[in-house]
A and B are shown apart, each in its own frame.
Chain A
Amino acid sequence: MTLEDTPTGQNSDVMVLQVENLSIDAVTPKGVTHLVQNISFEVRENEVLGIVGESGSGKSLTMLAVLGLLGPNLKIVSGSIRLRGREVTDLSFEEMQKLRGKAMSIVFQDPLTTLNPVLRIGKQIGEAVQLHNPDYSKDQVKARVIELLTLVGMPNPEKRYSQFPNEFSGGMRQRVVIAIAMANEPDLLIADEPTTALDVTIQAQVMNVLAEVRERTGAAMVLITHDLGLVAENADRIAVMYAGRMMEEAPAKEIFERPTHPYTAGLIASLPQLDHRVEELYSIPGFVPDLSNRPSGCVFHPRCAIGGKRPPCLEKRPELAPAGEGRRVACHFHEETAAWRDEQMRKMAAPENTAVAHDGPRKNALLIAENLEKTFDVRGGLWSKQKLHALKDVSFELQAGTTLGVVGESGCGKSTLAKVMLRLLEASGGEVYLNGKKFFSHRGPSLRRARKNLQVVFQDPYSSLDPRMKIHEIIAEPLRINGGYSADRVNELLAHVGLTPEAGLRRPPEFSGGQRQRIAIARALALNPDVLILDEAVSALDVSIQAQVINLLKDLQAELNLTYVFISHDLSVVRHISDEVAVMYLGRVIEAGKVDQVFDAPAHPYTKALLDAIPKPDRDEAVERFTAEGDLPDPMRPPTGCKFRTRCPLAREACKGEDPELIARDGTDHPSACLFPLTRDAVPA
């Protein structure tokens, strides 16, 4: 079971955590469900183990078991968990309490819910210190808290000490959570999706903080995430989990190049690429199995491209067995993975520049947004009213059958843009032309008629379907509203998105996230719209499901000549699906152009920072990362001049003057709102 060597060579051999043959069952009145089956792994001092898996893979559950925090109906049925050689599964609750926070601690996903909103953060960190150091005096505790705040890179720790969580940004809150977790310098830090709720530039900052505090204390870390790129960059070893079982364990640096399990290889092939275009994403067929009804033999066999229906896969459960240096894999045919992967890579290889197809003489644009403005009145104090500029001078043109990607971090106005274009919010200025006609001047019934050409798919597959309606009725709704309902049309729409008419008889709660998103797409297509606005339409989905939906969207576009406005925070997905792209920051478009231009030669420092912040497995450590510093400025009080200058590593005196226009400047071939745009060849350090 032990590994012969450590991947990076710099780790010590002292074991911090050994999990062996761990199985967890859920005991419900309906019966027993095996949530986690025979998981084994080890973490050494100074080491980072990444646990990767889709939702329901049991990755968080495993670590909750390590902490002794399983819910009342969850039971460890077999296996052992040893912390520094000491068995913890049979410890009493009181004994576990002494370990938690002291020997091991956890950082949860959402810093908003992890912190108590009515306690000052100094007190919250102080609690963690005091719990294991009851004899500390008040001053000692405070001194330690300030030290911790400094450790996690909190500016102004003395002042921050007495502030409440709502006075902190998401990234700063997560630093506080890390400070709490590190309060007693634990041997083991468990980070459960620590950056999933954060923007990508903030994610980079928080991962840096985690790396720094670990370096100081030598703690081992288990990093739980769904993001393969993030673990590949930040972990030493990776364990891949699927449906409660461990599929593969491998050195992190090699996982992208040499995945051994077909599931891992499939996941990697279904990831959109940031640095080049791919023809079509591989999508793992089917869905994650229901854990109360696991497939026989290998859990992955129904979705596997390699094993598939071969007898051993159907009958015999593969054991996690050594497969080369530092690797273990649970697959009967893992030798074939490399060949399959090479074939996928050939298939995916960059297509003949598809963007060129739209480069011909400019036809009349199908969708034009002209100087869109949106301001909100926000109540400041008791009498004062302030204006929040959510959208400022946003313009673009879009040809029929093409896709505009709109990217930006939270608070940049991209969702407001969607709502203004859909007239779910009234614009404060500007105009949208749809098929050459003014869309904003419609009123009442004529607006209702005009709307059918502009439809939307939202992010949340749970709140976008009325839970009390049957699927058939949900898809029929637009037809009924506009007259022209026929059951055949509904079934045709269901078929478009790969669902059978029988699915129409069921209700939304019976469907998974990916299926619901298909239903939402079918509904949006019901009125034969010209334009579909996709507002983070694939962001809530698991990687393998995301690829299915992206491929579906691309197929539908080709088939029905649809025009997409694809709004997302995920740059890789935007690169894959878009022809043109607009980057937004604080309500403005700060860079726009053909997707390859913007991604290969970003002109605006913000775009460059966004691109650099995305975790990459094969990052060249020698090339300095271009990072956005600090947090998003308060949108109520934006800085003078260029809005990005407060975070820009290249800001100069001139940037304070005027907010730069969105125009093409010297050395760039596409417009950006930067006085000193980056050029293709020379990227200043």
Chain B
Amino acid sequence: MPKFNLSQATAVTLLAIMVVLIIIVPLLPGYDPYKQDLGGALLPMGGENFRGDFYLLGTDTLGRDMLDRLALAGQVSALIGLSAVMVSLFIGVTLGLIAGYFRGPVENVIMGLADLQLSIPRVLLLIAVTAIIGPSVTNLALLLGLTSWVAYGRVARGMTLSLREREFILSARTQGSTATWNIRKHLLPNVLPQMLIVGSYEFGMIIVMEASLSYLGLGVQPPLPSWGMMVSEGQNYLALAPHLAILPSIALFILVAGFQFLSQAFTRENELELVA
């Protein structure tokens, strides 16, 4: 059965750490990411305040528990990442399948749109739009989703171009199948696994993008934390309390790396399937 696979094992380890942080930590007694304690601010990792409360990862400028903050921020980031991936996957796969299956002018319009999308610097676009519609978790997820469909669209179209000439689709057509039938029954199931690979890769990109927007103050708004925002807040205290900026960076790294390795493991799995 499944052989030991380094990228699989790494992915599992890294994502397990994230699961503990994002799901288990909030279930622990005393979890409260908003509780301020100005007297116990900027405690180092493993520090105790004057009441003898123990803080595994220390506290931030307002004396909030860093572990709890990191957990909540992780939930926010994961939520934004997942919804953005779902939005962009849906748009990208739909447009890609349509472009690849129907070819002709439809394809030209869709692929033109993709080129247009890529030619506009994404961060600038996001900054401009958030400045207008105002920053919020929903807006951020939607915007990130709407602007990152191109990768899915391109891959889906490329696969469709080769699949549509495959004989199982030709034979379905001779049996009187409609375009909708072919796309739903044949193209989508064959394209989807590849899309999950793209998705696991894009997920990391989106988390980083969210972090940079939050760092600029255009993402998640306080008191809701996000890793990017925590880095941004922590940079003023780099000398005094380096853990404020370093811990969220590490968390970010673990999550993104975890998904990279996951996408690698997926790819390998899919390759095996293609060979077999």
Q: Identify the A interface with B (CB < 8 A).
A: 29, 419, 422, 424, 447-449, 451-452, 454-456, 458-460, 463-468, 474, 477-478, 481-482, 509, 520, 523-524, 526-527
Contact A458 B171 (CB under 8 A): yes
Query: Residues of A contacting B167 with CB < 8 Å?
Result: 458-460, 463-464
Question: If A468-B190, A509-B276 touch, does A449 touch B176 (CB 8 Å cutoff)?
Answer: yes
Question: Quick check: is B237 within 8 A (CB to CB) of the other chain?
Answer: no
Contact B177 A481 (CB under 8 A): yes
| Number of CB contacts from chain A to chain B under 8 A | 66
Point out the residue from A448, A509, A524 that lies within 8 Å of B171, measured CB to CB: A524
Question: Quick check: is B54 within 8 A (CB to CB) of the other chain?
Answer: no
Question: If A468-B189, A477-B185 touch, does A463 touch B166 (CB 8 Å cutoff)?
Answer: yes
CB-defined A-B contacts under 8 Å, sample of 26: A29-B3, A422-B170, A447-B176, A448-B177, A451-B175, A451-B176, A454-B174, A456-B174, A458-B167, A458-B170, A463-B166, A463-B167, A463-B168, A464-B166, A464-B167, A464-B171, A466-B190, A467-B190, A468-B189, A478-B172, A478-B175, A481-B172, A481-B175, A481-B176, A481-B177, A509-B276
Query: Residues of A contacting B3 with CB < 8 Å?
Result: 29
Query: Residues of A contacting B181 with CB < 8 Å?
Result: 481
Instruction: Report the minimum CB–CB distance from A161 to chain B (whole Å).
Output: 36
Query: Residues of A contacting B172 with CB < 8 Å?
Result: 477-478, 481
Docked CA distance A509–B276 (Å): 7
Point out the residue from B171, B176, B177, B276 that lies within 8 Å of A523, measured CB to CB: B171
Docked CA distance A459–B171 (Å): 12
Question: Quick check: is B119 within 8 A (CB to CB) of the other chain?
Answer: no
Docked CA distance A465–B190 (Å): 12
Contact B168 A465 (CB under 8 A): yes
Docked CA distance A448–B176 (Å): 4
Contact A422 B175 (CB under 8 A): no
Contact A456 B168 (CB under 8 A): no
Contact A452 B176 (CB under 8 A): yes
Contact B175 A452 (CB under 8 A): yes
Q: Mark B262-276, 1 if CB is under 8 A from A, else 0.
A: 000000000000001
Contact A456 B171 (CB under 8 A): yes
Interface size, B (range): 10 to 19
Instruction: Report the minimum CB–CB distance from A519 to chain B (whole Å).
Output: 11
Question: Quick check: is B5 within 8 A (CB to CB) of the other chain?
Answer: no
Query: Residues of A contacting B177 with CB < 8 Å?
Result: 448, 477, 481
Contact A520 B171 (CB under 8 A): yes
Docked CA distance A424–B175 (Å): 11
Docked CA distance A449–B173 (Å): 11
Contact A482 B170 (CB under 8 A): no
Residue of A nearest to B187 (CB): A466
Point out the residue from B168, B173, B178, B276 that lies within 8 Å of A424, measured CB to CB: B173
Instruction: Report the minimum CB–CB distance from A182 to chain B (whole Å).
Output: 35
Instruction: Report the minimum CB–CB distance from A176 to chain B (whole Å).
Output: 29
Docked CA distance A29–B2 (Å): 11
Q: A456-B174, A463-B166 are in contact. List 9 more A-B contacts (CB 8 A).
A: A29-B3, A454-B174, A455-B174, A456-B170, A458-B171, A477-B175, A478-B176, A481-B181, A523-B171
Instruction: Report the minimum CB–CB distance from B179 to chain A (whole Å).
Output: 11
Query: Residues of B contacting A422 with CB < 8 Å?
Result: 170, 174
Instruction: Report the minimum CB–CB distance from B159 to chain A (whole Å).
Output: 13
Query: Residues of B contacting A454 with CB < 8 Å?
Result: 174
Query: Residues of B contacting A474 with CB < 8 Å?
Result: 168
Q: What 8 pairs between A and B have smallest CB-CB spacing?
A: A448-B176, A464-B167, A478-B175, A458-B167, A466-B168, A451-B176, A463-B166, A481-B177
Docked CA distance A562–B189 (Å): 34
Instruction: Report the minimum CB–CB distance from B41 to chain A (whole Å).
Output: 57
Docked CA distance A524–B174 (Å): 9
Residue of B nearest to A524 (CB): B171
Instruction: Report the minimum CB–CB distance from B228 to chain A (whole Å).
Output: 39
Residue of A nearest to B190 (CB): A468
Instruction: Report the minimum CB–CB distance from B35 to chain A (whole Å).
Output: 51
Residue of B nearest to A510 (CB): B276
Docked CA distance A463–B274 (Å): 12
Query: Residues of A contacting B175 with CB < 8 Å?
Result: 451-452, 455, 477-478, 481-482, 526-527
Instruction: Report the minimum CB–CB distance from A65 to chain B (whole Å).
Output: 23
Query: Residues of B contacting A449 with CB < 8 Å?
Result: 176
Residue of B nearest to A424 (CB): B170
